[in-house]
Amino acid sequence: MREIFTARVEPSKASVQGGRHARDGSADESFAHLVDGFRRFRAEVYPEQQALFARLAKAQQPRAMFITCADSRIVPELITQSSPGDLFVTRNVGNVVPPYGQMNGGVSSAIEYAVMALDVQHIIVCGHSDCGAMKAVLDPAGLQRMPTVKAWLRHCEVARSLVEQNCSCTAGEALGVLTEENVVAQLDHLRTHPSVAARLAGGQLSIHGWVYCIETSEILAYDAGTGRFAPLDGDGPLPVATPAPRYLQA
């Protein structure tokens, strides 16, 4: 249902300029831009997709759970060309998944609900290029006035430590390597959640680790077999991050 995003996200001249003007202008102009967009959604987009919204009004059956960064430049529905109802999205600073038991917060609740109530068959953890959270993990000096963000990003410490002790990468390469290792670390955390672990063991759930490049649109996906990231749309077999099931259902 590409049309849903055509009106809002595709970089037509008007929408790109409108976005810039809104941000460059006053707070009132920024908010007016949002309300104006809502008016266009109701007047132009909603009528065209009325059947879809009528179907969604009573239930959801998302194809996948999508855990990504809160960064405004990542639009899961746009880059996967998905419709409302397709993705169960959870976002936070650094696409973090706290290990089970450490925090009964929004991410853990969303995972449990997606797996147990919605029966999602795929969970994607998606990091991205130029991530402010990953920059802060590498250089936490800027977090002095943000104690909550600093505390949250301790869930990325495993990735930072791993890169620091194993990677001989240059300062310029460190951000990209850390971004990938953070996705791998959050996949590991994901597997500590009982609902996830049980369905992985039973072969009813797949997990995926992606890194999206804002500039090129490329997505690299983690392959647990090779321990490397490879293009999601490459010629070879799809990269697989899911561990082999141990209790296949009859």
- Of 238, 204, 226, 46, the C-alpha closest to 123 is 204
Which pair of structure tokens corresponds to residue 83? Answer: 């419709």
Give the nearest distance from C-beta 166 to Zn ion in angstroms: 23
Give the nearest distance from C-beta 8 to Zn ion in angstroms: 21
The secondary structure element, H or E, covering residue 89 is strand 87-92
> Given candidates 4, 45, 69, 87, which one binds Zn ion under the rule CB under 5 A?
69
Give the nearest distance from C-beta 69 to Zn ion in angstroms: 3
Which pair of structure tokens corresponds to residue 238? Answer: 């799809």
Site map (CB under 5 A) of Zn ion, residues 15-54, x = contact: ----------------------------------------
Which pair of structure tokens corresponds to residue 139? Answer: 């250089």
160 neighbors 100 (Cβ within 8 angstroms): no
Which pair of structure tokens corresponds to residue 96? Answer: 């973090």
* Strand order across the beta sheet in which 64-69 lies: 87-92, 64-69, 122-128, 206-212, 219-223, 228-231
> Given candidates 67, 71, 137, 189, which one binds Zn ion under the rule CB under 5 A?
71
195: three-class secondary structure by DSSP: helix
Footprint on residues 2-21 left by Zn ion (CB under 5 A): none
67 vs 241, beta carbon nearer Zn ion: 67
The secondary structure element, H or E, covering residue 127 is strand 122-128
Site map (CB under 5 A) of Zn ion, residues 83-122, x = contact: ----------------------------------------
Which pair of structure tokens corresponds to residue 203? Answer: 């072969």
Give the nearest distance from C-beta 42 to Zn ion in angstroms: 31
Site map (CB under 5 A) of Zn ion, residues 172-211, x = contact: ----------------------------------------
**Lookup result for tokens 């951000």:** 175
Site map (CB under 5 A) of Zn ion, residues 121-140, x = contact: ----------x-x-------
Which positions lie near Zn ion, rule CB under 5 A? 69, 71, 131, 133
